[in-house]
Amino acid sequence: MTWIVRITAILFGFVWGSFIHLVIYRLPRGLSIVRPGSSCLACRRLLAPYEYIPVLSYIGLRGRASCCGVQIGLRSFLVEWIGGGLSLALVETLFLPSFEERGVVLALALFLIHFFMALFLIGAALIDAEWMILPDSITWVTGGLALLTYPWRGFTFVQSWGGALFGFMMIYIPFVALYQRLRGRPGMGMGDAKISAVLGAWLGWQGALFALLTGSLQGVLAAGLLYLIAGRVDEPVAVQEERRKWLEAAAAGDSEAQEILATDPLAREPLQGFRHVRIPFGPFLILGGLEYLFFVLFPDRL
């Protein structure tokens, strides 16, 4: 019986992993996640149903589009596996250990809450890694889910709503407001503060603090390692392309582009040297939250 549960969980994760990859691609580009249906990114032909079966289609097509033969990016395949792995991990650490004591309905509800929280935050992390933005739409969805489901997760109103306030202020006061006042620019983006609020609502203030500390450490280590290996840490390609478009538009007299270049820190060319390296912090903050979920919260509460 448990093997049926595990296999079902993996397949469930594959399907939602495929969906979250669609969100990762379309959301930062301003495209609808509903219409049109999935299509080839090269020739734009709508895909047949057999061409977007999670995991199997990529393997069966050998990583190439059947319509034009262009190579399909590996990311979609990996994100589907992340969805499957996340689902299985939650079954092993949450659903199976708790369903006898709490009942199947509550155990399933807890599984779904934590699965969608984690999966959508992983989606936000991957968007931030590519674009250095954390979409408000994902923040509002995950934040609302965390704040509305606190009783089922064993939290009190104060623990969840207070955790959200703590998580937000923990980043906003020192790294946005105070840093802006002292240095003339924010040290972190508002997106990081909002995601920290989501983590506080989901995991409590301890989880938000843990995510900030471990995320900061892991971010510094990752940036340092890349800098030692390559001698530099470049911004994501998408960010560089956006800056190039703003510069071209500003040179042509576009007032909106000129304002963006004057006010948005990401619009400015980064200075040389390790202390001026720009890396998205969202992925490390969310990674810290997931580490707290699996290695601190679940072992403590189950």
Tens of pLDDT along 77-127?
999 999 999 999 999 999 999 887 888 999 999 999 999 999 999 999 999
CB 54 within 8 A of CB 14: yes
User: What pLDDT was estimated at residue 301?
Assistant: 58
Give a yes or no: residue 278 inside a domain: no
Q: Could you write out the DSSP letters of every residue in 180-235? A: HHHHSS-SS-HHHHHHHHHHHHHHHHHHHHHHHHHHHHHHHHHHHHHHHHHS--PP
Given this model, what pLDDT does residue 213 score?
98
Q: How many domains does the chain have?
A: 2
Tell whether 40 is covered by a domain: yes
Residue 258 domain boundaries: 237-269
| Position 93 in a domain | yes
Query: Which of 81, 102, 123 is where one domain is finished?
Result: 102
Average pLDDT across the chain, whole number: 89
- The domain boundary, picked from 51, 81, 102, lies at 102
Residue 146 lies in a domain: no
What are the pLDDT digits (tens) for 169-192?
999 999 999 998 898 878 888 999
Domain finish residue from 46, 81, 102: 102
Q: Is residue 120 part of a domain?
A: no
Least confident range from 139-148, 231-240, 257-266: namely: 257-266
Among 100, 79, 89, residue whose Cα is nearest residue 22: 79
Q: What percent of the chain is predicted at pLDDT more than 90?
A: 58
Question: Quick check: is 215 in a domain?
Answer: no
Per-residue model confidence (pLDDT) at position 300: 64
Peptide bond into 36 cis (omega under 30): yes
Residue 251 covered by a domain? yes
In whole angstroms, what is the distance from residue 96 CA to residue 165 CA? 32
pLDDT of residue 271: 64
Q: Is the pLDDT of residue 302 over 70?
A: no
Encoding tokens for residue 3? 């093997």
Asked if the structure places residue 77 within a domain, the reply is: yes
Report pLDDT digits (tens) over 199-232: 999 999 999 999 999 999 999 999 999 888 887 7
